[in-house]
Amino acid sequence: MKNVLVSGGWFRKEDLDRLSEVANVIHLHDLEDKQNLDSALPTIDILLTASWPSSLTEQKIAKMENLRMVQCLFAGVDSLPVSIIPSHVLLCSNAGAYSQEVAEHAWALTLAASKCIPLFLTLPRDKPFFMDRMFGIAARMVSLEGRTAGVIGYGGIGSSFASMAKAFGMKVVAFSRRSDPQDKGVEILQGKEGLNRLLRISDVMLLSLPLTKNTRGIIGSAELSMMKEQAILVNVARGDIVERTAMLRHLKTHPNFWYATDVGWHEKGKEMADPDNEFRGLDNYLVTPHVAGVSSQPTGKPSYQAVQNVIRFIQGGTPANVINKSEY
């Protein structure tokens, strides 16, 4: 039987029970409590984790000579120390487990921006609804029917978002590395020219691609300048896909443009929406604190899918979501 080291309390008992039918399930906190981590590490075949365990330093990883797979609970692996994971070890993300909930959140951000919800929340409630007061805001309200949604990164989240966009009567275009989309009625655009076309024609744009060497900062001043004056850019991926200084300048000079994001920029290892307090007072920047996937946890899907991928690997199948580590 393979030895699976489990870190953190995110995995459901019922999933770990299933796992223990095909593997020895070892909890990292047990090893730490008994101070026998060092002797156990060489026997570990698979690591199942959410965020990276602080006790697993580069030195400790070097001792895990049997390690063949690292399975992450999260959809993105950009926060893991990918460079210290040996090249022969499979690293798997949990992409897809959060797609429905993150796409729902992306729609919450899209509609909050298009209907100016944050601006209306600041109005006094004990005064009559005066047309003259609200019409300044209402002029920024956008009807979505017949407009174009551009999905940048057409995986699980992107395709869920696209289905919902069609129900709102929108046309959908997608920027994707794959050229074989499952969904009908979605125009796939590829390459730099494809991305530029998407940026020019879209009224709503969704960032739903991983943060890698290739995608860091791909939305900079050149890309922002191609977008429509009244476009809405929604980010449910990672903040650092967007250049912060370029975005700040764009929001200041384009008052009808919206940046609606669930993710902030990383500064000294911490994620935040406005590290240097420069976006204050901008009423076209809407942010939630990286919570899009939180409501996935109660559904059990993230734990189930991550454990299922480990079981598939143990039983000789091909695991899903294998990461190309050279991109990180």
Q: Under the rule (CB under 8 A), what is the footprint of its own copies?
A: 100-101, 104-105, 107-109, 111-112, 114-115, 117-118, 120-121, 123, 125-129, 133-135, 137-138, 141-145, 163-164, 166-169, 264, 270-277, 279-280, 286-291, 294-296, 298-299
For the bound state, the minimum distance from the C-beta of residue 289 to its own copies, rounded and expressed in Å, comes to 4
Q: Which is nearer to its own copies, 199 or 287 (CB)?
A: 287
Q: Give 46 or 292: the residue with its C-beta nearer to its own copies.
A: 292
Among the listed residues 249, 256, 175, 184, the one whose alpha carbon sits nearest the alpha carbon of residue 208? 175
60 or 290, CB closer to its own copies?
Answer: 290
What is the rounded CA–CA span in Å between residue 146 and residue 132? 28
Closest to its own copies by CB, 24 vs 230, is 230
Tell me how far, at minimum, the Cβ of 9 lies from its own copies, in Å: 13
Does residue 172 contact residue 149 with C-beta atoms inside 8 Å? yes
* The dihedral sign for the CA sequence 31, 34, 37, 41: negative
| Minimum separation from the CB atom of position 211 to its own copies (A) | 15
Smallest distance from its own copies to CB 285, Å = 9
Instruction: Output 137 or 226, the one with its CB closest to its own copies.
Output: 137
164's tokens:
């919902």
Q: How far is the CB of 115 from its own copies (least distance, A)?
A: 4
Minimum CB distance to its own copies smaller for 147 or for 254: 147
Cα–Cα distance, 215 to 325 (Å, whole number):
14
Tokens representing residue 282 in the block: 């901008």
Tell the residue number behind the tokens 């223990």, with chain if given: 20
Closer Cβ to its own copies, 73 or 286, answer by number: 286
Decide whether 21 or 132 has the Cβ nearer to its own copies. 132
Provide the token pair at 40: 């156990």
3-state helix, strand, coil in the chain (%, to 5): 40, 20, 45
The answer to whether the Cα torsion of 294, 298, 302, 306 is positive or negative is positive
Minimum CB separation of residue 117 from its own copies in Å reads: 5
Nearest to 320 by CA among 186, 156, 83, 183: 156
What the block records as the tokens of 72 is 């992450």
Q: How far is the CB of 98 from its own copies (least distance, A)?
A: 10
Residue 142 Cβ, how far from its own copies at the closest point, in Å?
6
Spatial separation of the C-alpha atoms in residues 153 and 155, rounded to whole Å: 6
Q: What is d(CA 215, CA 193) in angstroms, rounded to the nearest whole number?
A: 15
**Polymer length of the chain:** 328
